[in-house]
Chain A
Amino acid sequence: MQHTPVIETQQLQYHFTSHDLNNNAQKIEILQNVNLTINAGEQVAIIGSSGSGKSTLLSLLAGLDVPSSGSVQVNGNAFSALDEDGRAAVRAQTMGFIFQSFQLLPALSALENVMLPLQLKNNPEARALSLAALKQVGLSERMQHYPKQLSGGEQQRVAIARAFATQPNILFADEPTGNLDHATGQMIIELLFEMNASQGTTLVLVTHDLTLAARCQRQLVLSQGQLTDQVTS
């Protein structure tokens, strides 16, 4: 199997300055010297305890934020050095997202939520692709329902449909089962991997859930902002 890196980081650091009650400045280190490579089609789980910097790492990999130092490359090109709009353009072309809190827009129906990223690409097939994606996650019957009218599991299925509808090369998932009960979480995991497999997407997910992490080909362990271990299943 040929390994083509899609994401690479070098000496990735992230910190910010916080002020305590006495207004003393304190530098908070979130990530320190993170070097990693994720290959095309790979499934990678980033695991670690709360506050270890998992979500921050994911946001840097996805270009949702910029590192304090170090760099992120996507498909061999400098990514973190791009400006906000440059990174947004790369995201639009190559990335999809699934969030812990679903991030569905309450004013939009399930179908409209799925259509949103496609419409942003001005895709003329937006409706058809979204309908197909919703059918794939088993929600064709509920496509006209608003998020408030859906259960947590259903909302996350809509989010998965939304993520896969654009057929991204890389899919980032931030605690995709974090807000769901065990059974529903399992169902979502199955769906996620099934769709990942069918599209050959590179999957980067952040999770506490070791069972979910174990389903991935590789687990990166973050502890106090540093990559301490890599486990390959």
Chain B
Amino acid sequence: MLSIKLAWQQTLNLWRAGALRVLVFALIVAVTAITAVGFFTARVDSALTQQGGLLLGGDVAMLSDHVIQSSYIQSAQSLNLQSVNTVEFASMVTFGDDNQLAQIKAVDTGFPLRGDLTIGQSTLDAGVLVKHGPKQGEVWIEPRLTNLLAVKVGDQVQVGMLDFVVSQILVREPSRGGDMFNFAPRLMMHTADLPATELIQTGSRVKYQLLVAGAPQAVKQFYETTAPLLGRGEKIQDVQSARPEIRSALEKARQFLGLSAMVSLILAMVAMVLSSMPYIKQSLETFALMRCFGAAKQLVLQVLAWQTAFIAVLSAIVGIALGYIAQLGLEQVAGHLFVDALPPIPLAPIGMALLVSLAMMFAVVLPHAWQIRHLTAMNILRRETIAPNASNQFKYLPAALVMVAAIFWQANSVKLAAATVAALIGLSAVMVLLAWVCINASVAIMDKAATSKTMNSIKMGVYGLKRRMGLSIMQMIGFSIGLTVLMLLALVRNDLINSWQASLPADAPNRFVINIQSDQIPAVEHFFKQHEIKGSQVLPMIRGRLMTKNGEDMQNKVWKTDRQQRLAQREFNLSMAQDLQSDNQLLEGEWWRENDHGKSYMSIEHDLAKNLGVKLNDQLVFDIAGAPIEFTVTSIRKVDWDTMRANFFAVTTPATLNAFSASYLSSFHLPKEKVLAMNQLVKDLPNLTVIDIAALLAQVRGIMQQMSTTIAFVYLFSLVAGIAVIYAALVATQEARVMEATLMRVFGSSKREVTVAYLTEFVVIGFVAALVAVVVANGLAYYLSQYVLNISFQFNVGAVLVSLVLASIFIPLAAWFGLRGYLNVTPRQLLQSV
């Protein structure tokens, strides 16, 4: 086909002439960013799902308070999914004369379907990883239970009617999950032994679990078909809902990865639009001549379409290849930390990258194609409307629309996308206004300034800005968008990593002690003091059930959701506190003063308040040990659950509940070397239950570390894209500026004068762009930190000043480097070349 042949030749010609370089570079950066981040996040996403699976023991868990119906198991089998059953209940374990309540877990042979268990031969053993549970006739027990019962491997313990050999110490069970305050130490056995124990009788409180794993699509199908069929006492959990404490860390990281990719995309698109000028100009000239030589309109448009497609597809291919290589780098940096091997590369990002590449190219070209339709061959002779009409800003509309669509797609959050689009529009509007004011003010100052040789050159630069107002503003917008996102990423990235690290400091609590009796508090506090364990607090815990809210019965009320129902009917752990904990934030009302102590005021956690419709000043009646106690809600708190410290949904003032028997709990950081001392304390006070969350903390920390590294790597893409925008903004007006510099030299300006004029122009452009970028980037960083990423924002004056100075120095310098080559040739040569 003639049009394809011509288009291919045109593409090669344009490439050789250098009209495509920045454009193609920007396109490649966009595609690389999309594919690398797309490949990687998709792979990490599915790796994280697997990781979540490790924590669940399968891809999906179906939980029930009665025996799992066989129809669910058949449904899993029909989808070629693996499935295993587990049964959990509390029961006494006997060793000699000692009894201890334990959380029994009976597992099928295939357990765990995902992840592994760590077993060892003693409580201090680091252990080995295994992918199976105990054999029939054997049990594995947690170190806590060995301490409490003074059992060792090889001993025989009695569970119900059956005796078992303790064959291993269960060092770690990632799939434990559940409410950490409600479990006794674990004893694991095989399901085949369960009937002989005769422990499960009618009315026993038993948690039945069906774990399912297999191909993602089949798992999804199982989840979606099972969820609507669930009956009373049944629920289904996937990896998303299994471990909220890890999910919260991952969500933030995913948001940031998405944000980085989106920023790279925006930058690359801005760079493309800025660098499309030479391409469009040369293409239009060619097409005008083609029309003159007799080419039909349709042929010209076909050539343009093919040419655009060639550029888009070829750039996309290079970008996809680079994206693939880059994600291998990402895999090296962070991949192996998630799982042993990342899942295979998905194809979706390739399609998306191609689509974005084509959409962007066509969006840039479309308005000009429209222009070509109305271009008569006469235009070529008159040299009119061949060059794109710079005053017609509507030609950027299709590119802007594609950019908005890409932002919404990449952001994956309407709130975030809308904020970004609003910020971009705001930035452009502010830029136009500020540029107009600054340029006019500079011109007014120059008009009154004294005359000298250098001053004249400076004036020339300032007047140049006004002469090219449109171009200057466009260039400032380009620079400021580039600078804004670079600053934004720098600000948010650091905040994100810092806030993560701050939320889980090295001395974050790794142990919970519950069941402390009031007469044991001195002993526990003595232990803390003796072993220099800081920051620990012994908190009272009194059980109570919410009966009424402002007289309304809360127990028999019909709630809309299961969660509301569960929350309303559960037994709360009420506490008393003098001060607001540092990981709590007061949202409404006031925290009590010292003279309020003893008054029945209550502070409620905001998520609970929202679910149960509790508002400030509501009257809540709790049933505590059979007595109805009325509280007034005086504050609503937000609790940062990520800190892993002990926190309560409902807290009242000190002394209010002294009349009731309380048990106490504490959370603290136990250094490794103090583990034996801790065991001694437990031996001395055997009723204490110590919950070890060190392994969980290590997991969360690991994920944070991996994601921080990943973010640093992805940040590089944005950096390259940011530089591409700044370069494109420099190149966008280079031709006009070289032409002017040439004429200045022809009319007698020295190289120095031309340089001073040129630098003056770019100092103003760089400064105004940096000023706007600093304001917008900080505003956006504040918004993102506060409302999207939920992390605190710290304004950094130093960074602002450094950014302003650097932009005002480096932008003119970079611009000067671009022009420098033209200053070293004779005016005659220059005239010929322009």
Chain A complexes with chain B: yes
Q: A residues engaging B (CB < 8 A)?
A: 55, 59, 62-65, 84-85, 88-93, 95, 97, 99, 101, 103, 105-108, 112, 116-117, 119-122, 146, 148, 166, 174
* A120-B380 contact in complex given A106-B17, A107-B16, C-beta closer than 8 Å: no
CB pair A65 B293 closer than 8 Å: no
CA distance A121 to B295 in the complex (A): 8
CB pair A65 B376 closer than 8 Å: yes
* A88-B289 contact in complex given A105-B282, A107-B17, A174-B381, C-beta closer than 8 Å: no
0/1 interface trace, chain B 16-53, chain A, CB 8 Å (1 if under): 11010000000000000000000000000000000000
Besides A64-B380, A65-B377, A120-B6, 11 other CB < 8 A contacts?
A: A64-B378, A85-B296, A89-B294, A92-B295, A97-B292, A106-B17, A112-B13, A116-B289, A119-B9, A122-B2, A148-B832
Option from B17, B297, B378, B380 in Cβ contact (under 8 Å) with A103: B380
Q: Which A residues are CB-close (under 8 A) to B292? A: 64, 91, 97, 103
Q: Which B residues are CB-close (under 8 A) to A112? A: 9, 13
Option from A55, A99, A116 in Cβ contact (under 8 Å) with B290: A116
Q: Which A residues are CB-close (under 8 A) to B383? A: 101
CB pair B19 A65 closer than 8 Å: no
CB pair A119 B5 closer than 8 Å: yes
0/1 interface trace, chain B 269-309, chain A, CB 8 Å (1 if under): 00000000000001001100111111111110000000000
CB pair B832 A105 closer than 8 Å: no
* A64-B381 contact in complex given A88-B296, A92-B293, C-beta closer than 8 Å: yes
Q: How far is the CB of B160 from chain A (nearest CB, A)?
A: 88
* A91-B832 contact in complex given A59-B381, A64-B378, A146-B17, C-beta closer than 8 Å: no
CA distance A90 to B291 in the complex (A): 11
Closest to A88 in B: B294
Number of interface residues, chain B, beta carbon within 8 A: 31
* A106-B282 contact in complex given A89-B296, A92-B295, C-beta closer than 8 Å: yes
Q: Which A residues are CB-close (under 8 A) to B291? A: 88
Closest to A117 in B: B293
Option from B295, B298, B832, B833 in Cβ contact (under 8 Å) with A120: B295
Q: Which B residues are CB-close (under 8 A) to A174? A: 381
Q: How far is the CB of A82 from chain B (nearest CB, A)?
A: 12
CA distance A119 to B17 in the complex (A): 19
Q: Which A residues are CB-close (under 8 A) to B282? A: 105-107
Question: Total number of A-B contacts with CB less than 8 angstroms?
Answer: 91
Q: B residues engaging A (CB < 8 A)?
A: 2, 5-6, 9, 13-14, 16-17, 19, 282, 285-286, 289-299, 376-378, 380-381, 383, 832-833
The contact sample of 19 A-B pairs, CB cut-off 8 A, is A64-B381, A65-B378, A84-B376, A88-B291, A99-B380, A101-B383, A103-B289, A105-B13, A105-B289, A106-B17, A106-B285, A107-B13, A107-B17, A119-B9, A120-B290, A120-B294, A121-B294, A122-B5, A174-B381
CA distance A144 to B758 in the complex (A): 34
CA distance A179 to B381 in the complex (A): 14
Grouping DSSP codes into helix (H, G, I), strand (E, B) and loop, the B interface class, with mixed when no group exceeds half, is helix
CB pair B6 A119 closer than 8 Å: yes
Closest to A91 in B: B294
Interface centre among A59, A93, A120, A166 (most CB of B within 10 A): A120
CA distance A119 to B4 in the complex (A): 12
CA distance A105 to B14 in the complex (A): 10
CA distance A233 to B659 in the complex (A): 129
CA distance A166 to B294 in the complex (A): 12
Q: Which A residues are CB-close (under 8 A) to B289? A: 103, 105, 116
* A107-B286 contact in complex given A88-B291, A92-B293, C-beta closer than 8 Å: yes
CB pair A64 B376 closer than 8 Å: yes
CA distance A65 to B375 in the complex (A): 11
Q: Which A residues are CB-close (under 8 A) to B9? A: 112, 119
CA distance A174 to B377 in the complex (A): 14
Closest to B286 in A: A105
Closest to B381 in A: A59
Q: How far is the CB of B822 from chain A (nearest CB, A)?
A: 13
* A88-B377 contact in complex given A119-B6, A148-B832, C-beta closer than 8 Å: yes
Option from B5, B295, B832 in Cβ contact (under 8 Å) with A88: B295
CB pair A97 B293 closer than 8 Å: yes
CA distance A166 to B290 in the complex (A): 13
Q: Which B residues are CB-close (under 8 A) to A108? A: 13, 17, 286
